Structure 1
Amino acid sequence: MLTTLTRKERERQQREAKILQLARGMLRESGYLGLSMDRIAAEMEYSKGTIYQHFRNKEEIILALANEALEARIELFEQAATWPGNTRERISAIGAAAEEFVERYPHYFAVEQIVRSSSIWEKTSDERQQFMRSCEQRCMQIISGIVRDALAHGDLTMPKNRAPEDLVFGLWSLNFGSYIIMASSNSLGEVGIGDPVAALRDNQSFMLDGYGWRPFSHEADYPALMDRVRREVFSDE
């Protein structure tokens, strides 16, 4: 049954959304150090006390934005997971969704990195921390579900004493780590990495080949498939 919000509750939601909107802009323009409760209060023409009624500190705002980021990531992953192909194509579609996320929401990707600093995380509420954990679990479930489908269809056989989540962790660390390096390094071209996204795609494919996930990368054009997923699933959004 739907619950009707009171006018005061609606106004509170609207204020909170406005706070997060302003915070996103400040992070984009000035980074973490440029975000402050004073600036937000001044922009909104509210007292600082009103802002603190919504968020107890700026770290809590960062975590709220990180949770927004994860919700956006989940939405893209859920769309990609329904791609009408074999399991290797579907896991490649998830890779396309990860690319789409970073390119469409660079500010969200930056927030995902900032919030993992212990100096920020330790100042945030248990409630928002738990919400972030549940979002990360949902991302894991989407991808591990495809791995389990691959096992059920005989496209993949996991090594002994390895769970689907171990494979997902490998993809997660390869993908997330690669994009962190791309975002933070200005010298990739100088060290011989001319197209880091293409290199990431290849490395993901080689990893899946190594696990024995069929069809292998020499049997299908997965980069072309990922381009197609991005055109057909995400281009109209």
Structure 2
Amino acid sequence: MTIPFPTPTQLDDAPRPGESRKQREIRLREAQILAVARDQILEGGYLGLNMDRIAAQIEYSKGTIYQHFRNKEEILLALVNDALDTRQRMFKVAAAIQAPDRVRLATLGAAAEAFVEHFPYHFKVEQIVRAASIWEKTSPERRELMQSCEKLCMSTVVEVVHHGVATGDLSLPEGVRPEEIVFGLWSIYLGSQIITHSSDTLGEIGIDNPIRSLRTNQHRMLDGYGWRPLSSDYDYSAHMDRVKAEMFRHDQFAT
């Protein structure tokens, strides 16, 4: 099966249609601030993020930093929104393949796995910013953007499940809605990722391959609903591995 992932896009510093020189300078300066902030978070976590250090590293005044972001919580949320935009593009590409709907869903699962593996800081920051003490210090505009991007990602998954029902490959019991299937899959995925990134004892309890365990649980859930093709009839794991390798072949999702 050929997976039609796109070719590399233009570099981010290329002028955009209708963009003035000043707008481009502002956009690139903000990207520079976020890049430095990203490195600080990777090095020292949330407590390692410091506005004075950011200003010193990019050789701008701290006042210039505050023209873009009123506090470091705003920087965190901006990084999350950048992450969600990347994930949204990955989901859009994954959902576009020509395949049975359950295979399309597995492709989306592979995109979700690839996102965390290739952009681990995104996942960490996304969990940090959800804390009430952080969230309340951010602007309504950035919060709304985050919520909108998240809804678009989930809507992509919901559409695939709805289509699976429409084609007859998935027959849901009375009273069960496609959205509940998505919530179940999302819960398994997010819970697995959080535990994997926060626990050092998985190996001690016999979980030597968290991704394999995650996939097994999700496929058993879908097999339980009878969504065809069943995991006994299709090698979903091999497909997902191919998707992850192909998705980053050109680094088109690098940030």
Please state which band the TM-score falls in when normalised by the shorter chain: over 0.9
2:157 corresponds, among 136, 139, 143, to: 143
> Whole-Å Cα distance in 2 between the matches of residues 132 and 96 of structure 1?
22
SS state of the match for residue 223, structure 2? helix
Matching residue of 1:44: 58
Q: How does 1:30-69 map to 2 (within 5 A)?
A: 30-69=44-83
Matching residue of 1:10: 24
Structure 2 letter corresponding to 1:9: Q
2:230 is the counterpart of 1:216 = yes
Structure 1 letter corresponding to 2:129: V
Matching residue of 1:178: 192
The Cα offsets for residues 48-88 of structure 1, whole Å up to 9 and x where unpaired, read as: 11111110100000000000111111111111112221111
SS state of the match for residue 166, structure 1? helix
2:188 is the counterpart of 1:188 = no
| 1:103 CA displacement | 0.9
The Cα offsets for residues 140-185 of structure 1, whole Å up to 9 and x where unpaired, read as: 1110110011011101122323322211111111111111111111
> Whole-Å Cα distance in 2 between the matches of residues 5 and 217 of structure 1?
49
| 1:21 CA displacement | 0.7
Q: How does 1:222-237 map to 2 (within 5 A)?
A: 222-237=236-251
Matching residue of 1:129: 143
TM-score using structure 2 length: 0.88
Structure 2 letter corresponding to 1:176: L
Unaligned runs of 5+ in 2: 1-15
SS state of the match for residue 62, structure 1? helix
> Whole-Å Cα distance in 1 between the matches of residues 246 and 122 of structure 2?
23
> Whole-Å Cα distance in 2 between the matches of residues 232 and 38 of structure 1?
40
| 1:3 CA displacement | 6.2
Matching residue of 2:34: 20
> Whole-Å Cα distance in 2 between the matches of residues 49 and 183 of structure 1?
36
> Whole-Å Cα distance in 1 between the matches of residues 243 and 17 of structure 2?
37
User: Could you say what the CA RMSD is over the residues aligned between the two structures, in angstroms?
Assistant: 1.4
Q: How does 1:142-161 map to 2 (within 5 A)?
A: 142-161=156-175
Change beyond 3 A, Cα 1:232–1:7: closer
Structure 1 letter corresponding to 2:189: N
Matching residue of 2:132: 118
> Whole-Å Cα distance in 2 between the matches of residues 35 and 159 of structure 1?
49
The Cα offsets for residues 100-132 of structure 1, whole Å up to 9 and x where unpaired, read as: 111111111111111111110010000000000
Structure 1 letter corresponding to 2:211: V
Percentage of pairs with the same residue: 56
> Whole-Å Cα distance in 2 between the matches of residues 128 and 57 of structure 1?
13
Contact 1:79 1:233 in 2 (8 A): no
2:90 corresponds, among 76, 79, 97, to: 76
Change beyond 3 A, Cα 1:9–1:234: closer
> Whole-Å Cα distance in 1 between the matches of residues 41 and 174 of structure 2?
45
| 1:5 CA displacement | 3.1
1:95 corresponds, among 106, 109, 128, to: 109
| 1:232 CA displacement | 3.2
Structure 1 letter corresponding to 2:212: A
Q: Which has the higher contact order (CA 8 A, sep 6+)?
A: 2
Unaligned runs of 5+ in 1: none
